[in-house]
Structure 1
Amino acid sequence: MMSIQATHFQNWLQNTDLGQYVIQQERDFFQAAFRGFYAERVLQMGFTRCFAPQNAHALWVQQNHDLPAQIVAESATVWRNNAFDAVMLPHFLELSPEPQRQLFEITRIVQAAGHLVLTGLNPHSLWRFVGDEVPIHQAIDLPKLKSWLPELGWQIVQGRFMNYLPPINSQKAIEKLQFMELAGNRWLPHAAAIYGLVLRKQLTPLRGACDEVDDVLLSGDVALGLTRGKF
């Protein structure tokens, strides 16, 4: 079942001008990411109301005609090992009570050389002043997330920062402040509101037990390697 924070965030995305703007940016990111590799069996988890057809419900198996997903669900635990070529996660990890365990389960169901495409909130952006609708306090710091990936066998293929606008809710203001998108992308990419990652599962096997995940956190001081909104 979706958490209260996730419900509030989805409502904010769907019912504000800035939220609709962000939805389109993330749609563009997901669609561009999936043009970079072949994936026949794709699972989407999280934010079905924003990134799936309006009649999508938890654990319904259906085609997502808006994004490249064949199955829309809310859990990875019900699927067999290596069931999917790719998994798409719009804001799924940051709204999960145990994001590392969820990431382990997602790793289990993606085949070797498969892909994971995700988006998340940047806790260091101006959106930390937007209010309770955006769960910025639950956001996973990007260096922290990147520190989890090697032990689980994920390699970053591509990354992108998105949305450098302040927390405004006016279409006119969004249009007027478009210069901030260009300036932020060039000079302050780490201040973007959203980050996106394209990950590839390496061929080396995973460690044997999910309980070991808690022991693999590395230092959060990981170089971001940012270049013009990408990393």
Structure 2
Amino acid sequence: MSDQIIGMHDWLATPPGQYLLAWERAQMALTVANLFGYHALQLGLPELDALEANRMPHRWLATQSEAEVALSPRVAFATHFFALPFPANSLDLVVLPHTLELTADPHGALREVARVLMPEGRVVICGLNPLSLWGFRQRRARWLNRLGGHSLFLPNEGEFIGYLRLRDWLRLLDLEIEDGHFGCYRPAFSSQAMLHRFNWMDKAGARWWPILGSAYFLVAIKRVRSMMPINPIRKPALRLPVAPVPVANSAGKIRARDQKDA
């Protein structure tokens, strides 16, 4: 990987890119197969058929580039991810495979996804974790670039969004994380042989340092807070104390009579 300006699509054809895609395909197959509804949308990354295992009758793949519509028969249309051509509350599932990293306005794209999702609809997000061995090598390579040039390990495209930062964005949009985990714990090697040599780190990393995986995968559900009328505190009815009071009978004698009988 000597090209310092390698893009995401070219990087996915490299051994570490194929390793990442294999992990994400496995996560997608386990997750989207159990999500039901009528309308599902994948935004970006035609290399990953994220909806392959899903059984919704209407499934689309959209990209931001008109060129990708012509190159891939799976791409249905091109659109701006922060201005989707769908009415509000119309989609049951939206999948974002590295979409937020590669768009110019990631927060705007996520806000648009929250708009088009139906109540209880789900969004599935894949991303690269800056807090990982891969992220550390990328930061180191960028620092060395300032001193005279050094090849980058990850694509020099977009902005990687950390898991904690993304979690805060989701909370602001009433998207509640339902499931999430990390993966791809092997070191930042460019060769297939070295990646295969360290395949034992996938199991070890998931057990001993789970949040340091090079990629994360999460599922969030759109919660709609219903407006419940607040009943005023009902005070108990005022009851008069029962006390004997003197009354005069027809014989002129005084007797005690209950107030409620008076």
TM-score (norm 2): 0.66
Contact 1:160 1:197 in 2 (8 A): yes
**By how many angstroms is 1:184 displaced?**
0.7
Partner of 1:153: 174
User: Identity rate of aligned residues, in percent?
Assistant: 30
Larger radius of gyration: 2
Partner of 2:142: none
**By how many angstroms is 1:27 displaced?**
0.9
Query: Within 1, Cα distance between the matches of 2:7 and 2:154?
Result: 5
Query: Within 1, Cα distance between the matches of 2:19 and 2:10?
Result: 14
Contact 2:41 2:93 in 1 (8 A): yes
Partner of 1:72: 61
Aligned with residue 22 of structure 1, among 20, 23, 27: 20
Determine if the alignment matches structure 1 residue 12 to structure 2 residue 1: no
Name stretches of at least 5 consecutive residues in structure 2 with no aligned partner.
Answer: 64-79, 139-151, 227-262
Aligned with residue 117 of structure 1, among 100, 124, 139: 124
Aligned with residue 138 of structure 1, among 149, 159, 173: 159
Rate the CA distance shift 1:201–1:40 in 2: closer, same or farther, 3 A.
Answer: same
Aligned with residue 93 of structure 2, among 83, 86, 106: 86
Cα RMSD of the aligned pairs, angstroms, is: 2.2
Aligned with residue 35 of structure 1, among 33, 36, 39: 33
Partner of 2:105: 98
TM-score (norm 1): 0.74
Contact 1:127 1:136 in 2 (8 A): no
Partner of 2:114: 107
Rate the CA distance shift 1:65–1:157 in 2: closer, same or farther, 3 A.
Answer: closer
**By how many angstroms is 1:39 displaced?**
3.0
Structure with more of its chain in helix, by fraction: 1
Q: Deviations over 1:116-143 (max 9, x none)?
A: 0010110111113251642487111111
Name stretches of at least 5 consecutive residues in structure 1 with no aligned partner.
Answer: 53-63, 206-231
Partner of 1:179: 200
**By how many angstroms is 1:178 displaced?**
1.1
Query: Within 2, Cα distance between the matches of 1:157 and 1:45?
Result: 20
For 1:105, what is the secondary structure of its paired residue?
Answer: helix
For 2:201, what is the secondary structure of its paired residue?
Answer: helix
Query: Within 2, Cα distance between the matches of 1:41 and 1:111?
Result: 10
For 2:7, what is the secondary structure of its paired residue?
Answer: helix
Q: Deviations over 1:37-90 (max 9, x none)?
A: 313211000111x114xxxxxxxxxxx874538101133422221221000010
Equivalent residue pairs, number:
187
